[in-house]
Amino acid sequence: MISEETTMVAERDDDTTLRRRHMLGLADYDRDEIELVLSTAREFREVLHRPIKRVPTLRDVTVVNLFFESSTRTRISFELAEKRLSADTVNFSASGSSVSKGETLKDTARNIEAMKIDMVVIRHRSPGAAQFLTSCVEAVVINAGDGAHEHPTQGLLDMLTMSDLFESFEGLNVSIIGDIAHSRVARSNIFGLNALGANVTVCGPQTMLPRGIEQLGVRATNRLDEALEGCDVAMALRIQLERQGVGLFPSLREYHTRFGIGLQHLERYKDLIIMHPGPVNRGVELASEVVDHERAVILNQVTNGVAVRMAVLYLLAAGVRSE
C-alpha cells in the first residue's frame, strides 16, 4: 500500500528532515518538502566549492547503489554525493552479477541487505521497482529511476537549476520536449513543478504524448513554436535511439526538423533557457551549437545533481539514525 511504503518517520520538532522514510517519486510531494530539499542542496553546494569537499555527515552509513539499468552519470553522481558525505558506498550493477543467473530482485536485495546496509539507491527498468523494494528490505530506498515512472532526484536537480536563474516558480513557464510517454524525467518534473506553482507544457510527436497527459495538469502541443512562445525554460529530453525501430517517429532527421531546438529558436526567443537531462544526442534534440550556447545550463544541472543527491541522502539518513 502506498500509505505504508511511504511511511512517515516519527514526527520531529524541527523542519529540517523529510517526514518520509524513502524517496520514491515526487507525485505526492508538496511545496514545503521540495523547498526543503532545494535549500538543503544549496548548503551542500557550498561544500562542493571548498578545497576539501568531504563532510562527515554520513559516516558509518552504508549505501548500496543498485543499478539494474546501465547508467553512467546518475550512478557517478550518487556515488560522489555519498562519498562527499563520508558514507560507505558499494556499487552493484546488473551486468556480471547474480541477476544474469536468474535471481529475483527481491532475493538480490535481501542478500545485499543481509550484509547490513542502511540505504539503497535503485535504478530499474520496471515502473514501481523502487516501491517494490521497500516491501523487501528494511533499508531506506531512494529511487534513481524506475522505468518511465519517476526519477525524483533528476526532477529536483532540474528545479534547483531553475531556482538559480529565476526568483520564483510561481508562474514560471517550463516546456518539456520529446518522448513524454517513456520519460521518468518528464513525470518527476511535471509533479514537482506543478507543486511549486509553475506552468508546464509538454511537446512532442503525438506518438510520444501519452493518453490523458493533460490530466497531470499540463498543456500538450505538437507544435514546437507553441511550446517555446513565452517559455522560460525548455527542457529537451533525450531521444532513445533504440526506440527508433518501434516506429514512434519516422527518422531522426524528421524528428530534428520538427522538434529539435536550433540556434534560430534561441534567436527568436531571446530569454529562453535550455536544459537537458543528458546524455545529449547532438543534432537531434538540440543542435550542437545550442548545447554549447551560454543559455544552455546543462552542466549546471550536472553539478546540481551531486548537491541534490547529497541533500536527499542527508535528509533521509535521519530515518536510518532513528532506528
Question: Which residues make up the interface to another protein (CB under 8 A)?
Answer: 1-2, 4-5, 27, 104-106, 124-129, 131-132, 146-150, 181-182, 184, 187, 210-213, 215-216, 246
Contact 84, 48 (CB under 8 A): yes
Minimum Å gap between C-beta 212 and another protein is 3
Kindly tell me which of 179 and 232 has the beta carbon lying closer to another protein.
Answer: 179
C-alpha cell at 89: 558506498
Of 126, 67, 121, 65, nearest to 93 by C-alpha is 67
Contact 118, 139 (CB under 8 A): yes
Minimum Å gap between C-beta 33 and another protein is 19
Kindly tell me which of 150 and 285 has the beta carbon lying closer to another protein.
Answer: 150
Distance CA 32, CA 53 (A): 28
Kindly tell me which of 127 and 283 has the beta carbon lying closer to another protein.
Answer: 127
Distance CA 233, CA 71 (A): 25
What backbone torsions phi and psi does residue 248 show, to the nearest 5 degrees? Answer: -75, -20
For 137, residues 6+ apart whose C-beta sits below 8 A from its C-beta are 109, 110, 113, 120
Minimum Å gap between C-beta 134 and another protein is 8
Minimum Å gap between C-beta 24 and another protein is 9
Minimum Å gap between C-beta 268 and another protein is 31
Kindly tell me which of 8 and 299 has the beta carbon lying closer to another protein.
Answer: 8
∠ CA 138-128-75 to the nearest 5 degrees? 75
Distance CA 41, CA 39 (A): 5
Kindly tell me which of 42 and 182 has the beta carbon lying closer to another protein.
Answer: 182
Does residue 148 sit in helix, strand or coil? coil
The sign one gets for the Cα dihedral 201, 253, 210, 276 is negative
C-alpha cell at 260: 529539435
Contact 88, 61 (CB under 8 A): yes
Minimum Å gap between C-beta 57 and another protein is 30
Kindly tell me which of 24 and 306 has the beta carbon lying closer to another protein.
Answer: 24
Minimum Å gap between C-beta 86 and another protein is 32
Question: How many Cβ atoms sit within 10 Å of the Cβ of residue 279?
Answer: 10
Kindly tell me which of 128 and 278 has the beta carbon lying closer to another protein.
Answer: 128
Of 58, 240, 48, 45, nearest to 249 by C-alpha is 240
Kindly tell me which of 107 and 164 has the beta carbon lying closer to another protein.
Answer: 107
Minimum Å gap between C-beta 277 and another protein is 15
